[in-house]
Amino acid sequence: MDSKNKDLRHLAIIMDGNGRWAQQRGLPRFEGHLAGARRVVELIPFMEKYGIEYITLYAFSTENWKRSAEEVQYLMNLLADFLDDNLENMCKNRIRLRVTGRLADLPDFCVQRLNSVMEKTSCYQERTLILALNYGGRTELTDAVRKIAASVQDGSLRPEDIEEKTISEHLYLPDVPDPDLMIRTSGELRISNFLLWQLSYAEFYFTDTFWPDFDEAELTKALDAFRKRNRRFGGRP
């Protein structure tokens, strides 16, 4: 395929299957999460190669707090290590880091690192890596409705003036274009509360491949499939 994929500005990925990848190999779950983090590092250079401006990775959902305290702590430490180890890599590839989700509810050491890396990479505009952390699509819509309700209450917005654009403008990252393609690994056929509003007209691609095994060859398959789709956005063929 061509090195530039002009129709795909924003790629969203549900990185699923780390635990099952480890289980198949007789390894503890944390080894799967570590392998998954390494796969993210390998993915970063592909943004430029395939002309992708935005990648959103579903890294930690609002539901993931239900996991064991040990696993959650490991994931938070892994996030901190990822940020420490890859700041130079993001700067080298001129990639800006952003976060979507309820950032304030994360541990302080994660919030501090996230804010630091976001500040240090804020000058880069060519490509943006978005981590969905403590993120849930329903939570995002709930927060948007609360903001809109507050504006109605204080008189700065009339109920009859609320449009789809109004809701979009009150989401976590209103300036980011909606995803063109959503990939989910590991064979699950659902979106699991991910970007419910933004995925309205995205193309979906599901693969049985576990996230730690989702290499460039697998990415190319997904991008090739996307290019063959006829995106009508509700219009006629």
> Residue 103 belongs to a domain with what CATH number?
3.40.1180.10
In a domain, 170, yes or no: no
> Per the structure, how many domains does the chain have?
1
Note whether residue 106 is domain-resident. yes
Question: pTM for the whole thing?
Answer: 0.94
Q: Which residues are catalytic, by number?
A: 16, 64
Query: Do the domain assignments include residue 40?
Result: yes
Average pLDDT of the chain, as a whole number? 94
pLDDT digits (tens, 9 = 90+) for 176-189: 999 999 999 999 99
pLDDT at residue 136 greater than cutoff 90? yes
Between CA 15 and CA 37 the distance in angstroms is 10
* Alpha-helical runs (H) found in the chain: 18-24, 29-43, 46-49, 69-92, 108-121, 137-153, 164-169, 216-227
- What is the mean predicted confidence (pLDDT) over 105-131? 97
- Residue 27 in any domain: the answer is yes
Q: What per-residue confidence (pLDDT) applies to 177?
A: 97
Tell me: the pLDDT tens digits for 204-237? 999 999 999 999 999 999 999 999 988 776 665 5
Phi/psi of residue 106, nearest 5 degrees: -75, 160
The parent domain of residue 65 ranges over 10-136+178-227
pLDDT given at position 170 = 98
Q: Is residue 155 domain-resident?
A: no
202/199 Cα distance (integer angstroms): 5
